Amino acid sequence: MAILDLFFPKKCLECGLSGKYICENCLKKVPPRGWTSKTAYTIFKYEGVIRKAIISLKYKYSTDIAEELATHLTRVLKRENINLDEACLVPIPLHWYRYNFRGFNQSEVVGRLIAKKMDWKFIPDLLIRNKSTVPQVQLTGSARRKNLRGAFVLNPVCVLHSTYYILFDDVLTTGSTLLEASKVLRAGGAKRILCLTIAK
């Protein structure tokens, strides 16, 4: 047990049970998702303890929550045989201003852990968000697409060399963010892309 656990014991974010932020009983209550298209896979429905874990990670940064999420996500990926050879996980980046304001990128934090557990390469700076956009949650579908147009560019110092690129984000809504990022990767020469998200 970590010293911090003595003073700030972990409790399930949904039911309050001591021990973990995501207890197995509450996790079982969250419906699974799966393939939302031929190139997009979502692990869970955005509700219950998963929703609370994502929100807590995003706004109350906790590495323990990230570790638990990554463990559960990896378990599903292995069970569903989504274990791609020579794959490279690329987190959806934040604009530098938002990154500096928040201090971290939740997709990068969880993505790094998943890549390590799945033995995938991890390139957090392959994509650069060169345009500060309005938060997507405030916009409708068409406005989201317009908002993201031209938001991403390839990092000029990175070279596309992997067989498979896995674009990773926390929550899938309309898919506009992942679609725009996929276009940039394809324009740079990527042939096979999987969009992976924690929840929808």
Collapsed DSSP state (helix, strand, coil) of residue 105? coil
pLDDT greater at residue 62 or residue 171: 171
Number of other residues whose CB lies within 10 A of the CB of residue 178: 23
pLDDT, averaged across the chain: 89
The CATH code of the domain at 25-199 is 3.40.50
Spatial separation of the C-alpha atoms in residues 28 and 48, rounded to whole Å:
10
Question: What pLDDT shows up at residue 166?
Answer: 97
Q: Is-above-0.85 flag for pTM?
A: yes
Q: How far is CA 102 from CA 68, 76, 96, 135, in A?
A: 21, 29, 10, 14
Higher-scoring residue by pLDDT: 99, 31: 31
Per-residue pLDDT at 134 exceeds 70 = no
Rounded-to-integer distance, Cα 3 and Cα 86, Å = 38
Residue 136: the pLDDT is 53
CA distance 93 to 169: 9
From residue 176, give the alpha-carbon distance in Å to each of 125, 141, 183: 20, 8, 11
Read off the pLDDT of residues 169-180 as tens digits, 9 standing for 90 and up: 999 998 999 999
More confident residue, 5 or 69: 69
- Looking at residue 117, its pLDDT comes to 97
Could you say which DSSP state residue 11 is in?
B
Query: For residue 83, what pLDDT is reported?
Result: 80
pLDDT at 2: 54
pLDDT digits (tens, 9 = 90+) for 87-132: 999 999 998 888 888 889 999 999 999 999 999 999 999 999 987 7
